[in-house]
Structure 1
Amino acid sequence: MEEKNRYYVVTKKAVPEVLLKVVEAKRLLESAKASTVQEAADMVGISRSSFYKYKDDIFPFHDNAKGKTITFMIQMDDETGLLSDVLHIVADYHANILTIHQSIPINGIASLTLSVEILATTGDISAMMQDIEIQCGVQYIKILARE
């Protein structure tokens, strides 16, 4: 059986330099200070392949996440009640659901895009993601955006 992702919060000093440079390159691209991945990679001193290897796996954790919106993409089996179970987990963590979009299932797999607002009462987002990911029928979860 495939092992599910686990999420950790670590201090900056424990993160390898290449990962910190990937975060910086992503920031340069998002702020339009770099117009291409190659330009951003050159500016921070990493290879383009290092950027692509880690870009989906590292992002800054902001202590001021309260009041922010996080958008998740979840791939899950087309099973009765699974969407309800996922939404129940979000409710248990006291996050406010802003939008839900579920695609028509193809080959028994549905893609769900879920945007949630992080409230002052919202629990640990990493734990929420992990609780969703371990649900039977959830194949994949990824943070698409943090606003």
Structure 2
Amino acid sequence: MNNKDYKKFFLIREDVLPESVVKTLKIKEALKQDPDMSIFEAVKQFDLSRSAFYKYRDTIFPVEEKMQTTKEFTLILYVNDVVGMLANVLNKLSTWHLSVLTIHQSIPMKNRATITLSLDATDTDLELDDVVDLLKEIDNVTKVELISMTI
């Protein structure tokens, strides 16, 4: 395989993206919402050049857009070592209609542990961001990170 044919993908937070990339995402959403809008009208509305829009339009997309066909992802939860912590997390996932594909809990060290979960969100209306936010609200969960996803 030629290295020029291989493209790496990255997950990156929106707040660190260049303004032109963020505007491209907004333009794509506006065009999706109003199919009668022309690209010229959309780039003018968001104050972006057409060349910048064309440069980025096929290279940037929201995670949820790529998760429409499959909704599998892996998260790592950083938790305080509390009796019943794993059971509490699993109960919450069940109420949110998330299916656990794989699970791993680390051995606690200094009263801290990690729980790695591969989840299938096919049977829920929750988006990835919603799941992360809900998990962060669980008592004794100190941090939640996305480590992989199927797209």
- TM-score range (shorter-chain normalised) is 0.5 to 0.7
Aligned mates of 2:148, 2:138 — CA distance in 1: 22
Runs of 4+ in 1 over 4 A off after TM superposition: 18-21
Aligned mates of 2:21, 2:101 — CA distance in 1: 31
DSSP-derived class of the 1:73 partner: strand
RMSD of aligned alpha carbons: 2.7
Name stretches of at least 5 consecutive residues in structure 2 with no aligned partner. Answer: 1-13, 23-60
Name stretches of at least 5 consecutive residues in structure 1 with no aligned partner. Answer: 1-11, 22-58
Q: Which has the larger radius of gyration?
A: 2
Percent identical pairs in the alignment equals 26
Aligned mates of 1:100, 1:17 — CA distance in 2: 36
Aligned mates of 1:115, 1:137 — CA distance in 2: 20
Aligned mates of 1:83, 1:64 — CA distance in 2: 29
CA contact (8 A) 1:75 1:139 kept: yes
Partner of residue 97, structure 1: 100
DSSP-derived class of the 1:105 partner: coil
DSSP-derived class of the 1:94 partner: coil
Post-superposition Cα deviations, 1:30-49, rounded to whole Å, max 9, x if no partner, equal xxxxxxxxxxxxxxxxxxxx
1:22-61 mapped onto 2 (5 Å cutoff): 60-61=62-63
DSSP-derived class of the 2:65 partner: coil
CA contact (8 A) 1:89 1:128 kept: no
Aligned mates of 1:116, 1:88 — CA distance in 2: 14
Note the C-alpha offset of 1:16.
4.5
Q: Residue type matched to 2:101 in 1? A: L
